[in-house]
Chains A and B, each alone.
Chain A
Amino acid sequence: MLNSLRAFFAERNILEVETPIISTAATTDPQLESFSTHFQNHEYFLHTSPEFYMKRLLAAGSGDIYQLAKVFRNDENGRLHNPEFTLLEWYRLNFNHHQLMDEIELLLKNLMPEKSNQITRISYQQAFISQLKIDPLIASTEQLKNCAAQYQITTPQGMKNNKDMWLDWLMLEKIAPSFSKNAFTFLYDYPASQASLARLDSNDARIANRFELFFGELELANGFYELTDSQEQQQRFEKDNEIRTNNNQKNMPIDYDLITALKSGLPSCAGVAIGIDRLMMLHSNVKSINKVISFGDEFIRE
């Protein structure tokens, strides 16, 4: 599989790169926990994705690039999660998120032709409307709660009065399970509150040009039409840290080198990260991620 991947990128003149795994800055995303380590009394972090360094390369004029990187996420393990896993991350200049989805389709047809006959695209808004008859962009938290009750979706212990948390829960319980069982689905244009590092839509600021790829309900990839505005990026990082403070989570050091790189000019581009281990699970028809990772029983799971 890795050979086919590399051939796919070589054909398109996309350059393979390597970037540092250990860094003084880290992701501020409240949903991600970085592993931390020390060097000469300074704290360093293992990356959760090679995104920041790759964007610095793009800003420095690298052109189209890709990377196969081991990444690390603390507190994530289970049937579909291992704290250490492999991401394929690639960036295409002058692509928007739909053009990048087109290219991902080509890659999937190349790797798994028998599973790629029919690939669906549906917007986040449309998926919620067709499954739950509710518009995720305008619904209040209260309305989402009522909607969950109406569809007999149980409320998890510890659930908070938080719109994104409810959207995530409905997404897991009702939207993802509705996708075609044996086919790929792209879900695109997420609510702006879940933009992460995607730019907001130029016509509708309620949505962000972010997408995810699923096979059945298995999530495989996350991509963005990348945010290039340094000021907005900095504000999002700062807001993440505010949320972290409110959740009693540690604030993470913001990557100001990335902000500087964005300031100097990140070319318009789209980027995606694909979970290679999960792709491998699909390719070899196994149900647990530890089956496709060598020595994958290192972390207790059940």
Chain B
Amino acid sequence: MASYSTNEFRGGLKLILDNDPCSIIENELVKPGKGQAFNRVKLRNLKTGRVLERTFKSGESVEAADVIDVEMEFSYNDGEFWYFMDPETFEQIAAPDSAMVDSGKWIKAQELCTITLWNGAPLVVSVPNFVELTVTETDPGLKGDTAQGGTKPATLESGATVKVPLFIEEGELLKIDTRSGEYVSRVKG
């Protein structure tokens, strides 16, 4: 079983804590002059997304988590699983709903996503920070009202609803920031 000693700790290292895979966000070595050194570590639990803080006596070893990121294209959702395919090897993988977190509502076919695998199984699916999606439904726009800051809801092809400016019409392609869930701009065809 692979493990890491505290002196190998650095940002991005993946460990198992309380049976969950975690990624180190920050590691600080603290040491009183002539005394015992300790590591104060901030980690993200990769399953829950929660940030936790832990301290270790320096020299301790912690079990390594077999976690890797792979890039795969989204194929389809059968209501139970979300299917992804490696664009080069055509290898397929099925991610459960729990791995999608917020990603499901921003995804469309052929979208290239980052899938975090833990022991080979999908743990988290992350969509790109910016995606381009077509408006499938929105109230008619008010012509000429481009200067006003008003917004209205629009439903996108992925199923998500976002607030868009009044001049947006059905069928237009929009750029969306998936981190904030906000409209960024129109994409010029």
Contacts and interface: CB of A to CB of B under 8 A. Distances in A.
B33 interface: yes
Contacts of B62: 157
Contacts of B56: 156-158
A301 B35 contact: no
Contact of B10 (A160, A168, A212, A302): A302
A197 to B, nearest CB: 9
Tell me the dominant secondary structure on chain A's binding face. loop
Given A75-B7, A169-B38, A81 B57 contact: no
A99 interface: no
Contacts of B58: 75
Contact of A171 (B29, B32, B37, B55): B32
Contact of B32 (A160, A219, A302): A219
A171 B21 CA distance: 31
Contacts of B57: 156-160, 165
A2 B49 CA distance: 48
Given A158-B56, A158-B59, A29 B34 contact: yes
Contacts of B55: 154-157
Interface residues on A, range: 20 to 34
A22 interface: no
B111 interface: no
A95 to B, nearest CB: 20
A190 to B, nearest CB: 9
B35 A164 contact: yes
A164 B59 contact: no
Contacts of B28: 78-79
Interface residues of B, number: 25
A228 to B, nearest CB: 19
Given A156-B56, A157-B54, A168 B32 contact: yes
A260 interface: no
Interface string A45-81: 0000000000000000000000000000001111111
Given A31-B37, A154-B55, A165-B36, A76 B31 contact: yes
B34 A172 contact: no
A222 interface: yes
A159 B58 CA distance: 10
A176 B31 CA distance: 11
A194 B7 CA distance: 24
B171 interface: no
A168 B55 CA distance: 13
A78 B26 contact: no
Contacts of B30: 80, 172
Interface of B: 7, 10-11, 24, 26-38, 54-60, 62
